Structure 1
Amino acid sequence: ASASIPADDLISVGTIGLIKAISTFRAEKGNRLGTYAVRCIENEMLMYMRSSKKYGNEISINDPVGTDKEGNEIVIMDLLCDDDLSMIEEIDTRLQAARLYTVMSRVLTPREIEILALRYGLSVPGTTRAELTQREVGKILNCSRSYISRLEKRAIEKLRNTMEE
């Protein structure tokens, strides 16, 4: 085994090889389990070492990339972190929007989806457009403002009930 591969990794890979050997062993082929298992374990370790060599130039988020003004070492992780959490908030917002779109497509009629999309400026996930008044939506869909109001209220209630489940 290579000195650069930790013993724990080799033990784990060997265990995977043993599990594969046990699950694929066929006694009717005339081999002994021990002989077959050794071959499977060796093969698994060789495959692991090949893949480790192939990706040997991987970088770590703890690798240094330079120094700051005070001479402190900067690592990749420092560049990825955002103190104001804007990236995390953006991801959270997108996840919530994706969940909302999934729920909308599952519980609302196409007409209700269209009304909410026009009213709240929704478009495809991740984009927005102008929010319209109930009167403007009614004009587009050739309906009264009060009818749009009722459908909007019903659609929001359906979403609220589904999201609370």
Structure 2
Amino acid sequence: MYGTEKKKISFFQTDKASGEKTEEERLLVEEHLPLVVWEAKKYTGSGAEFEDLISVGSIGLLKAAGYFREDKNVKFSTYAARCIRNEILMYLRKNNRKEILLDNWEKELYADTRDLVWEAVEKKENHEALKKAASKLPARQKEIVWKRFGLGSGKESSQKEVAEEMGISQSCVSKAERKFTALLKKMMEKDVR
């Protein structure tokens, strides 16, 4: 089937300059169509439709016919098989990337929604626990903790912001925060027992 390659290819190389598809080129492509089927069968387990693989492989065959150079001492069938395979692989990569991105997006959306619901529940419970713990602190430290963790306003502030707002040092805010954290830890240990 592939024995007449050299003759046909040399004809179609001379007609390349005109940019028109020649009868020889058409025959060469038709003669190598079974190669497209052969390569497409290798990728039937990829999840893509067999007809799509044939279509994409045919594009690879046409590209092979368009770019083949006889002076490279490679048989057309070898070159065409590589072009067909490359075209199919590019198609599969492109489609798999789209599916993966869509799957990841759906999973992230579901996870984000679920996480937001749980976060809201936990935040309310935690907010109440934080308020309870803060109420056991001396007045000044309680005020620092309320501002730092947004227990009154719902807006958390950095140590620096709290320090500036209250006219105290950042280390004072940090000290109150450490004391509060230790108190929380003690309360949690008590609840666990």
Q: How would you bin the TM-score normalised by the shorter chain? A: 0.3 to 0.5
| TM-score with structure 2 setting the length | 0.34
Higher helix share: 2
| TM-score with structure 1 setting the length | 0.38
